[in-house]
A = this chain, B = another copy of it.
């Protein structure tokens, strides 16, 4: 039984990213050490440097791959269906990711090295802002809504899902992903759906009988 069998370049590389992900996930970037990762991979330190150059290189590679994974899942989920379905699908995809890839999710939510700007969730958020503007484009236009506020809602929605994901993962997963997704999606969806034209106006809870061309739909 040759335990110490050599691996090919790409194999080793993949394995190191796997191990590194787990270590970064549980200790954070700063507290994780290359030695630890190397040792846990059954290999010595210079190997890591041979493949990734520096600590940040390994970290960046891991984060990038994880981001791609997450973005792809979400992209897939919102590729078809009604707006509502796409929305709920996105939330479910996100939660499913946190469940299936807890280590990856942990890496994404933990602190990044200061030199690498918050490359983490920012990307998802920008993407989400785009999608939000896209999915709700019609509704936004018709409601006379200003799209420049889209980032607010994108951030709100992503933060919502992220935080629920963290809680849900930390807790013993009390509910199924589907159930949680339904709740969260309903919250976000209904929030967007029933958004007043201009939330910054006073008394936006009930629309008063102004001259506005909006029939008082009492909900």
Contacts and interface: CB of A to CB of B under 8 A. Distances in A.
A182 B162 CA distance: 22
A196 interface: yes
A210 B95 CA distance: 31
Interface string A164-202: 101110110001001110111111111111111001100
A67 B157 CA distance: 24
Interface in A82-96: 84
A155 B149 contact: no
Interface string A49-60: 000000000000
A204 interface: yes
A158 interface: yes
A28 interface: yes
Contact of A205 (B84, B160, B167, B175): B84
A161 interface: yes
A162 to B, nearest CB: 6
Contacts of A152: 164, 167, 175, 180, 183-184
Interface of A: 26-31, 84, 110-111, 114, 118, 125, 149, 151-153, 155-164, 166-168, 170-171, 175, 178-180, 182-196, 199-200, 204-205, 207, 219
Given A160-B163, A186-B191, A194-B194, 13 more contacts: A30-B31, A152-B164, A155-B164, A156-B160, A159-B162, A163-B163, A179-B200, A187-B195, A189-B191, A189-B205, A190-B192, A190-B196, A191-B192
